[in-house]
């Protein structure tokens, strides 16, 4: 069984005047990804694929430069489309995200529906892996669609209970597609994978 890894980008430089998909990593986020690149375990993956959002590409590039591989960018890995609202203050964002997960078949404030975002991320990951099914692949993406992917891989209903939680991102989980399996759940990028962790 080929095992893959999904990483969420860590802390970003928030700028309400810039579209959210174009936000980059903050100095803290950059430092965390640089520290991750110095660990051994990310280099077990021969392929690195990133969302087309700036923060994901920046994080993937830090890993790829150390690993000596090219970053592949796939548009289908982007975060759930929240362009209808754009930037929201943290408290308002969290309340809206709660509704997004609680009502996956509804568009919350014009956001992409959770069921649509889940189908998109699962389809993108499946297609990417199918290109090179024997190559362990590391994905660099986002917390929202990462949670939706995790729910799909576990075969459970969409729920925010599977979210990575607070802390600014920078979490990872391990998975396989054949058969679908989450073999360890969210943990900080500072912590190496552990198959003994509860998925």
CATH number at residue 157: 3.40.50.1240
With b meaning 16 or more CB within 10 Å and e meaning fewer, what string describes 44-68?
ebebbbbbebbbbbbbbbbbbebbe
Q: For residue 70, what is the DSSP state? A: P
Establish if 18 belongs to a structural domain: yes
Let me know: does 165 contact 187? Beta carbons within 8 Å.
Answer: no
Establish if 130 belongs to a structural domain: yes
pTM over 0.75? The answer is yes
Establish if 194 belongs to a structural domain: no
**112-165 pLDDT tens trace:** 999 999 999 999 999 999 999 999 999 999 999 999 999 999 999 999 999 998
Average pLDDT along the chain: 95
The model's confidence at residue 168, banded by pLDDT at 50, 70 and 90, is: confident
User: What confidence score (pLDDT) does residue 198 get?
Assistant: 46
3-class SS letters over 173-199? EEEEECCEEEEEEEEECCCCCCCCCCC
Establish if 91 belongs to a structural domain: no
Establish if 132 belongs to a structural domain: yes
Is residue 196 predicted with pLDDT exceeding 70?
A: no
Establish if 179 belongs to a structural domain: yes
Rounded Cα distance between 53 and 23, Å, is 8
User: What confidence score (pLDDT) does residue 174 get?
Assistant: 96
User: What confidence score (pLDDT) does residue 148 get?
Assistant: 98
Domain containing 13 equals: 4-80+114-188
Establish if 101 belongs to a structural domain: no
Establish if 136 belongs to a structural domain: yes
SS3 for 51?
coil
**51-95 pLDDT tens trace:** 999 999 999 999 999 999 999 999 999 999 999 999 999 999 999
Domain count, the chain: 1
Is residue 199 predicted with pLDDT exceeding 50?
A: no
């Amino acid at each position: 069984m080929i095992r893959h890894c999904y990483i969420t980008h860590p802390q970003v430089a928030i700028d309400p005047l810039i579209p959210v998909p174009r936000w980059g990593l903050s100095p803290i986020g950059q430092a965390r990804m640089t520290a991750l690149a110095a660990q051994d375990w990310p280099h077990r993956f021969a392929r690195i694929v990133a969302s087309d959002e700036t923060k994901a590409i920046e994080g993937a590039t830090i890993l790829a430069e150390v690993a000596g591989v090219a970053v592949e960018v796939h548009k289908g890995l982007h975060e759930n489309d929240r362009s209808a609202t754009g930037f929201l203050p943290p408290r308002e964002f969290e309340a809206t995200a709660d509704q997004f997960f609680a009502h996956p078949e509804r568009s919350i404030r014009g956001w992409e529906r959770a069921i649509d975002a889940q189908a998109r991320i699962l389809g993108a990951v499946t297609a990417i892996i199918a290109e090179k099914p024997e190559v362990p692949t590391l994905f660099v993406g986002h917390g929202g669609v990462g949670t939706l992917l995790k729910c799909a891989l576990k075969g459970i209903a969409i729920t925010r209970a599977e979210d990575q939680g607070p802390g600014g991102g920078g979490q990872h989980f391990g998975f396989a597609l054949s058969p679908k399996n989450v073999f360890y759940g969210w943990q900080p990028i500072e912590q190496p994978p552990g198959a003994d962790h509860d998925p």
